[in-house]
Amino acid sequence: MKLAIVGAGKMGGAVLAGAVRAGVLTADQVGVYHPDEDRRAALAARFGVAPLDDDGVHRAERVLIAVKPQSFESVAPLIAQRGGSYVSLMAGVTTGTLAKRLGSRTVVRAMPNLGAAVGASATALAWHPEAAVADREFARRLFLAIGTVHEVAESLFDAYTGLAGSGPAFAAVVAEAMADGGVRVGLSRQVARDLARQVLLATGMLLETKGPAELKDEVASPGGTAIAGVRALERHRVRFAVMDAIEDATERARLLARDGEER
């Protein structure tokens, strides 16, 4: 077995499905573990992979740890002290803690985001300095199957959480406000929501080839409607609010990670 998934929930399930879809692994190279036998069988059936018992996890080449961080303490004894390597996507659990609890330095830490559910995650990757090149490469391929990958210093994971982890919530607030604005000027709720979604989708696609300032300048013609709206955004200090949101979210991630380290 090439990969045992411990915690095939929303995120573990998205990585599993993406990896098989992209051909990084075949379904018979992956297995799922759950302490409850019925749950294990149900997860295996849902993803079309093998159910793994304790022994199966021990024998797997690699283990993807995708349980909630608070479950890690109870999971660690089961998966520790194997010969193989680990990829963890638990928020706030550092490679140092992973290495200590798992008794292994072949540890890669990943932070995907909600985009994983639609194959559009922005994943940050960091590894223990002693992680093998093959393990780093495997993690890269695994997460490229569900979106983009950025290799960053682990000290920047909280900043990553502030922008990419929390970002979908900020963008959703903007989408909701745009829809409310549309309703306010007379559009039906459904039409306003569709328009807001489509505008954000198209903007994301356009940003693949041009910078945000350039895009804004293209839309904002002299004396036109867009620049009138941009002025309103500046009046309400929207840039400042967005920058502040990312800073506050980063600070919160830092605090939660520190609490986790102290636990």
Ligand X SMILES: NC(=O)c1ccc[n+]([C@@H]2O[C@H](COP(=O)([O-])OP(=O)(O)OC[C@H]3O[C@@H](n4cnc5c(N)ncnc54)[C@H](OP(=O)(O)O)[C@@H]3O)[C@@H](O)[C@H]2O)c1
The three-state secondary structure class of 100 is helix
Closest CA to 160 of 101, 97, 105, 115: 115
Among 1, 8, 76, 179, binds ligand X (CB under 6 A): 8
253-262: Cβ within 8 A, 24+ apart: 253/91, 253/92, 253/157, 253/158, 253/161, 253/162, 253/165, 254/158, 256/91, 256/92, 257/91, 257/92, 257/94, 257/157, 257/158, 260/69, 260/92, 260/93, 260/97, 261/94, 261/97
Residue 19 binds to ligand X (criterion: CB under 6 A): no
SS3 232: helix
List the one residue from 15, 25, 107, 111 that touches ligand X (CB under 6 A). Answer: 111
Q: Is 79 exposed, middle or buried (0-12, 13-18, 19+ CB in 10 A)?
A: buried
Compute the least distance from the CB of residue 163 to ligand X, in Å: 13
Cα separation, 16 vs 259, in Å, equals 30
Residue closer to ligand X (CB basis): 37 or 218: 37
Q: Applying CB under 6 A, does 162 fall inside the site for ligand X?
A: no
Bridge partners for 88 per DSSP: 65, 109
Rounded (10°) CA dihedral 202, 146, 260, 52: 150
Nearer to ligand X, 113 or 250 (CB): 113
113 touches ligand X by CB under 6 A: yes
Annotate each residue in 73-92 with x if it binds ligand X (CB under 6 A) or - if it does not, as one string: -xx-------------xxx-
Residues 32-71 that bind ligand X (CB under 6 A): 33-35, 39, 66-69, 71
Instruction: Give whichever of 164 and 192 is closer to ligand X, judged by the CB atom.
Output: 164
Pick the piece of the chain touching ligand X (CB under 6 A) from 6-14, 128-136, 212-220, 252-260: 6-14
Q: Which stretch binds ligand X (CB under 6 A): 3-11, 19-27, 94-102, 247-255?
A: 3-11
| Cβ-based nearer residue to ligand X, 7 or 167 | 7
Number of residues that bind ligand X (CB under 6 A): 25
Q: Is 99 in the site for ligand X (CB under 6 A)?
A: no
- CB contact at 8 A, 14 and 146: yes
Query: Does the protein bind ligand X through residue 114 (CB under 6 A)?
Result: yes
For residue 79, the minimal CB distance to ligand X (Å) is: 9
- Choosing from 1, 4, 7, 95, the residue that interacts with ligand X (CB under 6 A) is 7
Residue showing tokens 């502030």: 162
Nearest distance from C-beta of residue 128 to ligand X, angstroms: 18
Spatial distance between the Cα atoms of 77 and 145, rounded to a whole number of angstroms: 29
Interface residues toward ligand X, by CB under 6 A: 6-12, 33-35, 39, 66-69, 71, 74-75, 89-91, 111-114
